[in-house]
């Protein structure tokens, strides 16, 4: 084989997400508003955004912090990286400090990532925060789930992502 064809790949398979999914389901009893999806990049835990946020607000609701604590506890036991993705399509006519969906989306994803880092003691190198605003609706990507266009996706990457 020609040496020019050898391309170094920095991806290694880490089968931790099945264990994390089982553990999370046991510790957090949510009958509605959460969907677990396994995709090539890993495990996606999709939460209805109403669980964490009030309309027009990027502050995490106090009564939902236990969910993030359970998630942080599980993330401490594995070495997988995690992406916090927010998908928001808000009625910006409500009283809000944000003018656009992408602004509040970035703020919400950032606040959850910051909570996992500061309160969950997750290394900041393992958490990425992304805000998609209204540009990646759930119903167009996977299946129609009422209300899940406004969601928080916690993506536990199944591979090592070097940046």
Domain boundaries, the chain: 30-157
**Residue 6 confidence (pLDDT):** 54
pLDDT in tens, 20-62: 777 778 877 777 788 888 888 888 899 999 999 998 899 999 9
pTM of the model: 0.79
% of the chain beyond a pLDDT of 90: 34
pLDDT in tens, 93-130: 666 788 888 899 999 999 999 999 999 999 999 999 99
Phi, psi of 145 (to 5 degrees): -125, 115
CATH topology of domain 30-157: 60s Ribosomal Protein L30; Chain: A; (3.30.1330)
> Cβ distance 43 to 37 under 8 Å?
yes
């Amino acid at each position: 084989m020609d040496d020019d064809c050898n391309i170094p790949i920095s991806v290694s398979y880490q089968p931790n997400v099945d264990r994390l999914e089982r553990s999370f389901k046991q510790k957090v009893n949510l009958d509605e508003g959460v969907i677990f999806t396994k995709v090539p990049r890993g495990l996606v835990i999709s939460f209805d955004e109403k669980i964490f946020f009030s309309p027009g607000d990027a502050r995490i609701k106090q009564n939902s912090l236990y969910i993030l604590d359970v998630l942080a506890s599980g993330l401490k036991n594995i070495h997988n990286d995690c992406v916090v993705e927010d998908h928001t399509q808000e009625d910006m006519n409500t009283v809000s400090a944000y003018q656009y969906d992408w602004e509040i989306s970035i703020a919400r994803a950032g606040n959850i990532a910051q909570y996992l880092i500061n309160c969950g003691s997750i290394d900041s190198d393992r958490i990425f925060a992304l805000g998609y605003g209204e540009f990646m609706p759930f119903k167009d990507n996977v299946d129609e789930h009422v209300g899940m266009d406004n969601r928080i996706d916690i993506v536990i990457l199944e591979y090592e992502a070097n940046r």
